[in-house]
Amino acid sequence: MAGKAAPRIGVLALQGDFREHIASLTELGADVVPLRRAEELGALDGVVIPGGESSVMDKLSRTFGIAEPLADAIRGGLPAYGTCAGMIMLSARITDGIAGQHTLGVLDTTVRRNAFGNQNDSFETDIPMPELGEDPVHAVFIRAPVVEEHGTDVRVLGALADGQVVAVQQGNVLASAFHPEVAGEDRFHRRFLDMVRSA
């Protein structure tokens, strides 16, 4: 990135594993800040929504008044990447959300929360994702969602052996059901930063 300022990335820091994303992106040379208020959005080149508890994240984002401005910014072209709960937050539809749960509605997907069970059913696996390179992606699933349906504009980047979709991209929005930031897998963050630079 010689001669160019580092991209300024905001990681939504209301709840969840935002610190791990901040560390991953900082290691890749980005200028990373915690994002908590709507007025901070204007200074950002991209935004990451971390894993955590999607219903809590939804409530807090509305309480802090950032949900609607964030959705508007992403619809307006701000690159976004969501992992696990972040994927749920970005999605247009949830099949089993709790009563009153909202999403940002910027990704044309239907997701199911906790698709693999509870915390005890967490697992790791390697998933071939040719668009991210020759080596499979090591994916850590913790109370993870899956994409049950998606629109024609949504590109599937990765699926489990049984066909369940776990990584997608639609324009300026990237999402994974798993946690690359926990596995030390940086290719999703690299792809996201490439999206930011070409936005």
- CA 146 – CA 166 distance, rounded (Å): 6
Would residue 120 count as lying in a domain?
Answer: yes
Would residue 158 count as lying in a domain?
Answer: yes
Task: Assign 17 to helix, strand or coil.
Answer: coil
Of the listed 20, 21, 150, 181, which one is catalytic? Answer: 181
Would residue 144 count as lying in a domain?
Answer: yes
* 173-196: pLDDT as tens digits: 999 999 999 888 999 999 999 999
Would residue 79 count as lying in a domain?
Answer: yes
Would residue 3 count as lying in a domain?
Answer: no
Q: What are phi and psi of 40, to 5 degrees?
A: -80, -15
Q: Given CA atoms 34, 37, 40, 42 in this order, what sign does their dihedral have?
A: positive
pLDDT at 119 over 70: no
* 38-62: pLDDT as tens digits: 999 999 999 999 999 999 999 999 9
**What is the CATH classification number for the domain harbouring 29?**
3.40.50.880
pLDDT at residue 120, as a whole number: 62
Of the listed 21, 150, 179, 189, which one is catalytic? Answer: 179
* 20-31: pLDDT as tens digits: 999 999 999 999
pLDDT at residue 74, as a whole number: 98
Told to judge if 181 belongs to the known catalytic residues of this protein, a careful annotator would answer: yes
49: containing domain: 8-198
Would residue 1 count as lying in a domain?
Answer: no
Would residue 154 count as lying in a domain?
Answer: yes
pLDDT at residue 3, as a whole number: 47
Would residue 2 count as lying in a domain?
Answer: no
Total domain count, the chain:
1
Told to judge if 84 belongs to the known catalytic residues of this protein, a careful annotator would answer: yes
* Helices marked H in 15-66: 18-27, 54-63
Contact 66, 133 (CB under 8 A): no
pLDDT at 1 over 60: no
Q: Which two tokens stand for residue 17?
A: 């594993």
Contact 78, 42 (CB under 8 A): no
Question: CA separation (Å) from 70 to 49, 60, 84, 176?
Answer: 11, 13, 18, 19
Of the listed 21, 84, 185, 189, which one is catalytic? Answer: 84
Beta strands in the chain (DSSP E): 8-12, 31-35, 46-49, 80-83, 91-94, 107-112, 123-127, 137-141, 146-150, 155-159, 165-170, 173-176
CA 119 to chain CA centroid, nearest Å: 19
